[in-house]
């Protein structure tokens, strides 16, 4: 079975600037995974929670496309915390059952909500794509160190073996 995986940086900056990672494409045997944008939590105030909705421009955005007709399973491996770059502090991050959405057209407003902890099965036609958006929730404690926090999110797409 062929796996298509992609890693993205879920960046959180507490009081300082933002890092950007360019799009990444992983393709093999007619199935491609494209990272359209990172989950960008941006600057947050220590002690104030922040929820990034999947409809937000700050949400992560992926595209999985196929050159042939197939059913695929999409699985997302999510972190429990973000790690301070160059430091020891951790910031908890939560992905609720309604923080992800998918659509066969690039329209988040007409998309379907799904739990990112559960593999998603999608039927794709020839040369068709599925778009996935992912939000998150952070609740920084008042004693959190200011800094740049990051973690990896892994998205894997596999054709369904019939």
- DSSP assignment letter at 139: -
| pLDDT, mean of residues 47-72 | 91
State how far the Cα of 118 lies from the Cα of 74, in Å rounded to an integer: 9
Residue 33 is part of a domain; what is its CATH number?
A: 2.60.40
User: By residue range, what is the domain housing residue 35?
Assistant: 4-159
- pLDDT, tens digit (0-9, with 9 covering 90-100), for 85-129: 887 888 899 999 999 999 999 999 999 999 999 999 999 999 999
Q: Give the number of domains in the chain.
A: 1
Contact criterion met (CB below 8 Å) for 67 and 131: no
* The pTM of the whole model exceeds 0.85: no
Mean pLDDT rounded to a whole number for the chain: 81
Give the pLDDT confidence score for residue 26 in this predicted structure: 60
Contacts of 118 (CB under 8 A, 6+ apart): none
């Amino acid at each position: 079975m062929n796996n298509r995986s992609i890693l993205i940086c879920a960046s959180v900056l507490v009081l300082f600037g933002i890092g950007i990672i360019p799009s990444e494409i992983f393709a093999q045997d007619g199935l491609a995974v494209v990272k359209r944008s990172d989950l960008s939590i941006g600057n947050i105030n220590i002690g104030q929670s922040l929820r990034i909705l999947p409809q937000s421009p700050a949400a992560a955005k992926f595209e999985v496309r196929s050159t042939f007709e197939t059913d695929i399973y999409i699985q997302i491996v999510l972190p429990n915390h973000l790690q301070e770059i160059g430091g020891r502090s951790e910031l908890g991050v939560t992905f609720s059952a309604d923080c992800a959405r998918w659509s066969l057209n690039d329209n988040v407003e007409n998309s379907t909500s799904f739990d990112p902890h559960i593999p998603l099965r999608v039927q794709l036609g020839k040369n068709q794509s599925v778009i996935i958006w992912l939000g998150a929730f952070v609740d920084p404690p008042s004693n959190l160190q200011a800094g740049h926090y990051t973690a990896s999110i892994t998205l894997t797409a596999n054709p369904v073996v019939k």
